[in-house]
Amino acid sequence: MRKKKVLVTGFSPFLDFKVNPSGEIARKLDGFKSDTYEVFGIELPVLHNEARKILEQRFSEINPDLVVGLGLAANATGIRIERVALNRYYRSGEVEERIGEVAAYETSLPYERIREALWNKGIPAYYSFNAGTYLCNEVFYTIASLCSRKGIRGGFIHIPFTHRQVIAMKKFSYPSMQEGLLIEAIKTIIEVSLV
């Protein structure tokens, strides 16, 4: 039986954050194979348009069965499942730009089952109704658009820092989660979404 192909994206470091756990986890999951799926993990640059171009190119090359985008939310207190991708983002100077034609996409990930599965494993998880108006939303919208056209599931998840990163930064006001638990959470999201 053919293994399902799962594209997992994360981001490179940005601003004052020297490490971005979303990109680290995407890289660590790259090449992971279970009995039923294999992961193609990529780290996207924190650059408007460039991130979208790379995502579209890799989507075309990999031809995935599922796409899970990851991003860092420094204030996230657990796994934050984003519900809606908006057709807008803000450039410097707060200039609003459109990404595509559709006003908004709702995630096609089974978010209720994902949250329940994570809770059952003792992993905090909750919903958010949009991924903001910056690059995470732009990538989420692109994922949703690509997946909608292909008829597959895709969505976006915000994650907190890892404990190790918070200690290294000495930024103890940031919520964090053990890295192994974050990786287990992403694998759970994949497994639930492929059913």
Q: Which of 82, 94, 147, 163 is catalytic?
A: 82
Quick one: pLDDT at residue 92? 61
Task: Judge whether 82 counts as a catalytic residue.
Answer: yes
Task: Judge whether 158 counts as a catalytic residue.
Answer: yes
Helix H or strand E segment including 60: helix 50-62
Read off the pLDDT of residues 59-93 as tens digits, 9 standing for 90 and up: 999 999 999 999 999 899 999 999 999 998 766 66
Q: Which domain holds residue 136?
A: 4-194
**Regions of the chain where pLDDT drops below 70:** 90-95
Read off the pLDDT of residues 112-130 as tens digits, 9 standing for 90 and up: 999 999 999 999 999 999 8
Neighbours of 91 (CB within 10 A): 10
Q: Which among 177, 96, 93, 179 has a CA at the least distance from the CA of 132?
A: 96
Quick one: pLDDT at residue 100? 86
| CB burial of residue 143 (10 Å; 0-12, 13-18, 19+) | buried
CATH number, position 178: 3.40.630.20
Quick one: pLDDT at residue 194? 98
Task: Judge whether 24 counts as a catalytic residue.
Answer: no
Q: Which of 136, 147, 163, 184 is catalytic?
A: 136
Distance CA 137, CA 97 (A): 12
Quick one: pLDDT at residue 94? 63
Q: Is the separation of the CB atoms in 139 and 9 below 8 Å?
A: yes
What are the beta bridge partners of residue 116?
none
Q: Which of 24, 43, 147, 158 is catalytic?
A: 158
Which residue, chain included where needed, has tokens 């519900």?
Answer: 83
Q: Which among 92, 71, 74, 93 has a CA at the least distance from the CA of 82?
A: 71
Sign of the CA dihedral with 53 first, then 59, 60, and 62 last: positive
Q: Is the separation of the CB atoms in 140 and 69 below 8 Å?
A: yes
Counted domains in the chain = 1
Q: Is the separation of the CB atoms in 4 and 36 below 8 Å?
A: yes
